[in-house]
C-alpha cells in the first residue's frame, strides 16, 4: 500500500508513466513528476486537489527539439507526455491554474 500526501491520493493510485521517478517538483496548485527508463522520459502534472476542471499543462522537451505538450481543462492530471531521450538533456514544465514549475535541463 502506498502512502500519499493530502490531496494527491487519487492521482497517485496508478503510476502514469513507466520507469523510475527521476524528479518531482511540488508547487502551490500541483506537482510535476518526471519518470525515466532506458529509452524514454515521461512527464505528468498532477493537481493538488483533484475534482473540478481547471487549466493544466505539461510539456517535455529534449534539448534541441520541440517540446511535446498536453494542455487543456482537466480534473486530475495533464499528460503523460513521452519523448525518446536516451542520454540527452530534457526540460519539463507543469502548470495548474496558472501556477507552474520547471525542472531546468536535467538527466544530461
Q: Which residue has the higher pLDDT, 4 or 80?
A: 80
The domain segmentation of the chain, as residue ranges, is 9-102
Residue 79's Cβ-count burial label (10 Å; 0-12, 13-18, 19+) is buried
Look-up: residue for cell 496558472? 98
Q: What is the pTM of this model?
A: 0.85
| Whole-number Cα distances in Å, 40 to 19, 33, 80, 83 | 9, 14, 12, 6
Model pLDDT, residue 11: 41
Model pLDDT, residue 12: 46
> Mean pLDDT in the chain?
89
Model pLDDT, residue 66: 97
Fold of 9-102: Immunoglobulin-like (2.60.40)
* Residue of 75, 72, 58, 73 lying closest to 10 (CA atoms): 75
pLDDT digits (tens, 9 = 90+) for 10-49: 444 467 899 999 999 999 999 999 999 999 999 999 999 9
Model pLDDT, residue 15: 74
pLDDT digits (tens, 9 = 90+) for 46-89: 999 999 999 999 999 999 999 999 999 999 999 999 999 888 99
Amino acid at each position: 500500500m502506498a502512502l500519499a500526501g493530502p490531496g494527491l491520493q487519487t492521482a497517485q493510485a496508478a503510476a502514469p508513466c513507466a520507469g523510475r521517478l527521476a524528479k518531482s517538483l511540488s508547487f502551490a496548485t500541483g506537482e510535476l513528476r518526471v519518470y525515466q527508463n532506458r529509452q524514454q522520459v515521461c512527464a505528468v502534472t498532477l493537481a493538488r486537489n483533484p475534482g473540478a476542471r481547471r487549466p493544466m499543462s505539461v510539456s517535455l522537451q529534449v534539448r534541441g527539439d520541440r517540446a511535446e505538450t498536453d494542455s487543456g481543462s482537466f480534473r486530475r492530471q495533464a499528460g503523460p507526455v513521452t519523448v525518446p531521450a536516451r542520454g540527452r538533456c530534457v526540460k519539463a514544465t507543469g502548470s495548474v491554474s496558472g501556477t507552474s514549475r520547471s525542472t531546468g535541463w536535467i538527466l544530461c
